Amino acid sequence: DTAVSQTPKYLVTQMGNDKSIKCEQNLGHDTMYWYKQDSKKFLKIMFSYNNKELIINETVPNRFSPKSPDKAHLNLHINSLELGDSAVYFCASSQPTSGGASLTDTQYFGPGTRLTVL
Amino acid sequence: GQNIDQPTEMTATEGAIVQINCTYQTSGFNGLFWYQQHAGEAPTFLSYNVLDGLEEKGRFSSFLSRSKGYSYLLLKELQMKDSASYLCAVTRNYGGATNKLIFGTGTLLAVQP
C-alpha cells in the first residue's frame, strides 16, 4: 500500500493555465506538507497543514493555493502558471509531537509531481 | 536566520567509506535528519539525531555536535546503489507542536566501481 501518493506524476502545461496536484496519505498523520524542488535540487517547504488547518505558509506567490478537505488530503492549486513554476513538487506527511522533535516527526514523502510549464 | 551547508558533490569507490559533512546555523534547533534521494525519486528517511553523538544503523551512521552546529553521515562498504543525493535537514520549532524541516542543498554522491 502506498503511504503518500500524488497525482499526476507528470504535468506538462502552457503558461497561463491553472492546474491542480492532489496528495493523499494513508498513514493517519495529522500534518501534511508541500515542497518545491527546483532544477538545482534545492528542496524548500511551501505550506504545511495540521488537521486541515494552515500552520506554515512560506513566502509563496498567492497564485499557489493549498486546500485540505480532510486531514488525509492536501491538494495544491496553481493559477496562471509561469515558466518559473517548473519544478518537482513533493507532498509529505508526519505525525507531530508536542514540545521537542522526535522520530515521529519524520516526514514521509510522496513520489513527486514533475511540473513543466511551456 | 538559518543556513545549512553541505558539499555539492562527492565521489567514492565501491567498498570504501565516505563521510558527508553538514554544518548548520539556526535558531530553535530541535534535531537533524539525513535523507537519501535517488534521481527522480522521493527523499527517504535515513537517520535522525537530537543528542550529541553517533547513531549507527547498519552501514550508515550519523553524528551530531550541537555545540559546533555540525553533523556528518558516514556510509561504509559503499555499494553502487548508494549513488544518490544525501540531504541534511534541520528541524526547527515553528510554534506549538509544529516543527519545520529546513533542507540543505544536498550532496550528490557518485560511487564508482
10-residue averages of pLDDT along chain B (113 residues): 87 97 89 94 94 94 96 97 96 75 92 96
What residues contact residue B18 under an 8 Å CB cut-off, 6+ apart? B10, B12, B74, B75, B78, B109
Residue from A98, A90, A4, A73 nearest B98 by CA: A98
User: Sorting pLDDT into bands at 50, 70 and 90, what band is A101?
Assistant: low
Q: How far apart are the first and last CA of chain B?
A: 41
DSSP symbol at B52: S
Task: Tell me if A78 sits within 8 A of A63, measured CB to CB.
Answer: yes
What mean pLDDT do residues A70-93 have?
96
User: Sorting pLDDT into bands at 50, 70 and 90, what band is A39?
Assistant: confident
Distance from CA of B37 to the nearest CA of A (A): 10
Best residue in A107, A108, A113, A116 for a mutation probing chain B (most B CBs within 10 Å): A107
Residue from A80, A90, A69, A62 nearest A117 by CA: A80
Sole residue written with cell 513543466 = A116
Per CB-CB distance under 8 Å, the chain A contacts of B48 are: 103, 106
Give the whole-angstrom CA distance, residue B113 versus residue B111.
7
pLDDT of residue A98: 61
B95: left (phi over 0), alpha (psi -120 to 50) or beta: left
Nearest to A101 among B43, B50, B87 (CB): B50
